[in-house]
A and B are shown apart, each in its own frame.
Chain A
Amino acid sequence: MKAFAQLIKTIDSTNKTNLKVEALADYFQQVSDEDKVWTIAILSHRRPPRPVNTTLIREYASELANIPLWLFEESYHIVGDLAETIALVVPDSQQETEKSLTQYLEEMLALKKESDEVKKEYLVSNWKKLNYYERFVFTKLITGGFRIGVSQKLMTRALAKSTGIDEEVLAFKLMGNWNPNKISFQELILEENEADYLSKPYPFYLAYAIEDQPNDLGDPKDWLAEHKWDGIRSQVIIRKNQLFVWSRGEELVTDKYPEFEDFVGKLPNGIVLDGEILAYPNNEIGSFKDLQTRIGRKTVSKKLLEKTPVILKVYDILEYEGKDIRKKSFVDRRRILDQLHADFKDEISVFHLSEIMKFSAWDEMAKERENAREIKSEGLMIKRKNSTYGVGRKKGDWWKWKSDPFSIDAVLTYAMRGHGRRSNLFTDYTFGLWDDEHKELVTFAKAYSGLTDKEFKSLDAWIKKHTLERFGPVRSVEPYHVFEIAFEGIAESKRHKSGVATRFPRISRWRNDKKMGEANTLEDLKAMIPK
């Protein structure tokens, strides 16, 4: 644990990626194999289940800090991170721990079953004897969500550096379900393992967004386009007559989509398809909202299966005849996929192909993009013909060119402090639109992104001076500032006060040129809902 806390401290002391990777690689050289496995697990979001609920954690911490609970809560809203708040408010200790990271995690795993008294004793005694960074790390492990400025990609790079194993190979090994408590470093990283290979997906290749026009990409003849489907990005694996469905969040979701059992026994074994799960009610592509009725369910009822069936819109093939074919060109992979689709589409009704479109001019492509909403796509994907299938988000070969978002001018009504690098700044906003009489503002969306750091800073200062009321961490502010809010989708909703749900709302512009009376009305918004 000492080494792990020191690592976090070192990473916290630099803003430079190279130095972070170096620190991580050094760390991997130093620590035991079991600590390595746990570190990999933690930094790839495979933390153990939370052993104590956060309400109790807050109580114990405020008691140890000798402050009332309300004061602890206020501090938390301002610090913006629970573990950091606890590490700051409890009395300091200069001691260092001798226990390893693995020992701590094993203790935490065992703690879940214990009584509240035992849990309290465990937390308090550790808080008392750990120094600041150890306390912070310890609490972070308990409360979960270990985001500390090191992405999985950075961690993989560091691991590659310290083991000499290729980064892409490592990324593949780290995919899927593995239990840090059961697997050894030898099994996870060093060995070739036949059994867990069976369910393993490949790292997803992700596209970069085209901000403006695709013209800079050169000759359109070097590129192929397809629609950007608005569903769940997934890999469907058929190996040894078994089906595995993985979502992009590296979640195994096979059970949620029983329709895909149809692939098994029909498609040859040793196939990995990359595509989008889409709702398909009434034999046509549905909206993301339709799909949402399927996402949350653990078990899928017959009724739901009938009402909202799904299909797989396939756009790539990563493995064929049991071989990794990601290094073949996109055109070659598509040729295999197209043939496969032609052979099996009649037999497997869930097997749909994302159609390829060729363009000789970017203008033509722009026209196609304008039609996207009508066919329930989000815009276009542009892929380089001779590109291999990469790992993660890399600039160059895959681009997404989304449809222009919807937008509307709304008034800032509430603000809340942000988290992480926005701690202690009011950066989480609620926006309202005018009602029919233009008298009251009706809340329609929350947005957290879209302003520059400078704009956040000046809005933060304004909010502090123009607060009307405080409700815990939230402040109502004088209605004054108008913002252009962009969003990707819009639908009627019974759950929202406004009666409208928008998808991915964010601030596109601060309309300093507009007075609040000039903001849009709820009627304006409702008029945007597709009929």
Chain B
Amino acid sequence: MKTPLLAFNSKGIYCEAADVYIDAWKPVDKVIISHGHADHSRWGHQKYITHHDNVPIVKHRLGEVNIESKAYGESFTINNVKFSLHPAGHIIGSAQVRVEHKGEVWVFSGDYKDEADGVCTPFEAVPCHTFITECTFGLPAFKWKPQAEVFEEINQWWKQNQADGRTSVLFGYSLGKAQRLLKHLNPEIGKIYTHGAIENMTEVLRSLVDFPPTHLITRETTKVELNGNLVLAPPSAHGGTWIRKMTPYVTASASGWMTFRGARRRRAIDKGFVLSDHCDWNGLINSIKATGCEKVICTHGYTDIFAKYLRELGYDARTEKTQYEENED
């Protein structure tokens, strides 16, 4: 049997013809990185290849590593295998990896979303024979509203909390979601404060994208100055002592998981906004159709269910195990 162009082994997704890994989860010599989230860009590889905009993120997280960067659409060859990166629309600097060898084309999606978010370069479907897709939200229960509607709700929520004399605490991942929120919050309502993790990451990205001003919360920040304003914090800050400073406050989370009423209640959060950096059900299906592929490999998410449905649609679809986080967003 012919060795597949990309194979899943114990270290990551391996291209034997080029002797290079993509988003490896164990240390390897050479790796192509789809985007800066910790489960995809891990520590310990000898050489990293990634998109230009992902370089500051990787360096911020992993320190000085041996890194080479590419533009979207720029092709490069390793051992006669042709590679190129294409926008994935997931977060700043996120890319799909196109691999071409002897007339066969595979695309690894990394994480992606098909809605333009105003922060990162929008997703582009790349024609291929085999498409490796995530399916974090691969269930028909997940349907996103256009982000303009969600941000309208979020800004309304902030205004209402302000009128009620409360501080709004909004949770989102420090890389990606936080900047997307920041970009679309209405700074005319009040000041936007940040948790340290978000402030640092945003600072790294300010050279790439124009964001409204933020104010880092420090020991000296008082309840009075926070009141009526909005605080952006990573989900891990909920439930800790740090948040007490915001009293009286109202909490909200912005994530695709907020689709489920139970998910919000379980996290003991007041309000859930359904806002994801991944595709919803229709987004996944439409993106796969747009690639014109015949074979689909489903990695992290509701893989079995999603692959079964794709098979019913006529695709040659299967699942592979990876070590990418299933619940991130």
Contacts and interface: CB of A to CB of B under 8 A. Distances in A.
Nearest to B141: A88
B266 interface: yes
A79 B262 CA distance: 8
A45 interface: no
A81 B141 contact: no
Interface stretch (A64-72, A152-160, A182-190, A371-379): A64-72
Interface stretch (A7-15, A301-309, A360-368): A7-15
Interface string B4-36: 000000000000000000000000000000000
A129 interface: no
B269 interface: yes
A75 interface: yes
Interface string A83-101: 0110011001000000000
Contacts of A80: 260, 262
A13 B141 contact: no
A51 B142 CA distance: 28
A494 interface: no
A128 to B, nearest CB: 16
A419 B270 CA distance: 19
A453 B269 CA distance: 14
A334 interface: no
Nearest to B266: A421
A75 B257 CA distance: 14
A425 B265 CA distance: 13
Name which of B262, B271, B326 has the most chain A CB atoms within 10 A of its CB: B262
A470 B304 contact: yes
Contacts of B261: 12, 81, 84, 423
A13 B260 CA distance: 13
Interface in B55-93: none
B211 interface: no
B312 interface: yes
B305 A74 contact: yes
B270 A75 contact: no
Nearest to B264: A12
Contacts of A419: 262
B270 A16 contact: yes
B209 interface: no
How large, as a class, is the contact surface on chain B?
Answer: 20 to 34
B224 interface: no
Interface in B297-316: 302, 304-305, 308-309, 312
A420 interface: yes
Given A14-B270, A78-B139, A68 B262 contact: no
Given A15-B270, A149-B265, A423 B140 contact: no
B323 to A, nearest CB: 9
Contacts of A470: 304
Contact of A14 (B262, B271, B304, B309): B271
B268 interface: yes
Contact of A78 (B251, B266, B269, B302): B302
A75 B141 contact: yes
Contacts of B262: 80-81, 419-424
B141 A85 contact: yes
Nearest to B157: A13
A464 interface: yes
A306 B263 CA distance: 51
Nearest to B312: A68
B259 interface: yes
Contact of A421 (B265, B308, B326): B265
Contacts of A12: 261, 264
B318 interface: no
B260 A423 contact: yes
A149 B262 CA distance: 10
Interface string B250-292: 1100000101111111101111000000000000000000000
Contacts of A74: 139, 302, 305
Contact of B271 (A13, A75, A84): A13
Nearest to A68: B312
Contacts of A15: 251, 265, 268-270
B245 interface: no
B266 A75 contact: no
B191 interface: no
A89 B305 CA distance: 15
A420 B265 contact: yes
A280 to B, nearest CB: 44
B101 interface: no
B52 interface: no
Contacts of A423: 260-263
A89 B260 contact: no
A71 B263 contact: no
Given A16-B270, A424-B260, A464 B326 contact: yes
Contacts of A68: 309, 312
A67 B141 CA distance: 11
Contacts of B270: 13-16
A67 B302 CA distance: 16
A16 B309 CA distance: 40
A453 B139 contact: no
Contacts of B309: 67-68, 71
A65 to B, nearest CB: 6
Given A13-B270, A14-B270, A79-B260, A88 B143 contact: yes
Contacts of B260: 79-80, 84, 423-424
A84 B260 CA distance: 8
Contact of B141 (A16, A89, A464): A89
Contacts of B265: 15, 149, 420-421
B106 to A, nearest CB: 26
Nearest to B164: A19
Interface in A1-52: 12-16
A203 to B, nearest CB: 27
Contact of B305 (A71, A88, A92, A421): A71
A74 B304 CA distance: 10
A80 B263 CA distance: 11
Interface string A412-452: 00000001111111000000000000000000000000000
Contacts of B269: 15
A425 B250 CA distance: 26
Contacts of B251: 15
A464 B303 CA distance: 11
Interface in B117-142: 139-142
B231 to A, nearest CB: 17
15 contacts: A13-B270, A14-B270, A15-B269, A71-B305, A71-B309, A72-B140, A74-B302, A75-B141, A80-B262, A84-B260, A88-B141, A88-B142, A89-B140, A92-B143, A422-B262
Rank and list the top 5 A-B pairs by shortest CB-CB distance, nearest first: A423-B262, A88-B141, A421-B265, A421-B266, A421-B262
Given A14-B250, A88-B141, 14 more contacts: A12-B264, A13-B271, A15-B265, A68-B309, A68-B312, A75-B140, A75-B141, A79-B141, A84-B260, A88-B259, A149-B265, A420-B265, A422-B262, A424-B260
Interface of A: 12-16, 65, 67-68, 70-72, 74-75, 78-81, 84-85, 88-89, 92, 149, 419-425, 453, 464, 470
